[in-house]
Structure 1
Amino acid sequence: MINSSLSSRFGLEYMPTSFTVRMGKRELLVCRDFRKRFYAVNPVIECDTGVQAGHLEILLCRRWLLIMSKAH
C-alpha cells in the first residue's frame, strides 16, 4: 500500500511495483527508479537527500530506489 501523501510528493501514482513498509516511526518506500539522472551514478549504491526535508534516498544497482522518511 502506498501512502497517498508520498505518492503525490514523489509522483508515484502510476508505479505498480512500489510498496511501503512502516517500522515504528519510520517509513521505507521501495520502488523502481524512474528519474533521469544528469550525473554519474555509482553502479552499486548511491545515497542522496530526498525531495523533501527529512527524506533519504538510496539507489541500489541503478534500478531500485529506497526512500526513508518519518511516518505520518
Structure 2
Amino acid sequence: MTQFELASATRFGLQTSPSTFYMRLGRRELFICRDTYVRRYRVNPLIECSAGVEAGHLQILLLRRWLLVLSRAPG
C-alpha cells in the first residue's frame, strides 16, 4: 500500500518547498523536491546519481532540477 504525505518538516537534510512530497513504498521511502544546491562540478543534463547525505541514501538529479532521494524507511 502506498502512503502519500506532504513533507512539513525538513527530511533528509533538505529544505522543504511547496513542490515537495514524500512517498513510502513498503520498506522504502522516496522524497522528491526541487534542487536548490549549487554544484561546483558539471552536471549531466538528463540524470545524475550520487550517494546521499546519510548512509543508505541514493540521490538522483533529474533534468538538473528535480532531486529524488531513495532511502530505507525507519522501523
Q: Give the structure-1-normalised TM-score.
A: 0.86
Among candidates 37, 40, 57, match of residue 38 of structure 1: 40
Equivalence for 1:11: 14
**How many corresponding residue pairs?**
69
Give the conservation status (yes or no) of the 8 Å contact 1:3–1:20.
Answer: no
Q: What residue in structure 1 maps to residue 49 of structure 2?
A: 47
> Secondary structure of the residue that 2:38 maps to in structure 1?
coil
Classify 1:66/1:46 alpha carbon distance in 2 versus 1 (closer, same or farther; 3 Å). same
Q: Which amino acid aligns with 1:11?
A: L
Unaligned runs of 5+ in 1: none
- Quote the RMSD (CA, aligned, Å): 1.5
The TM-score, its normalising length taken from structure 2, stands at 0.83
Q: Distance in 1 between matches of 2:8 and 2:29?
A: 10
CA drift at 1:16: 1.6
Gaps in structure 2 of 5+ consecutive residues: 1-5
Instruction: Determine which structure has more spread, i.e. the larger CA radius of gyration.
Output: 2
Kindly provide the CA deviation profile for residues 29-72 of structure 1, in whole angstroms up to 9, marking residues without a partner as x: 01000100000000000000001111000000000000000112
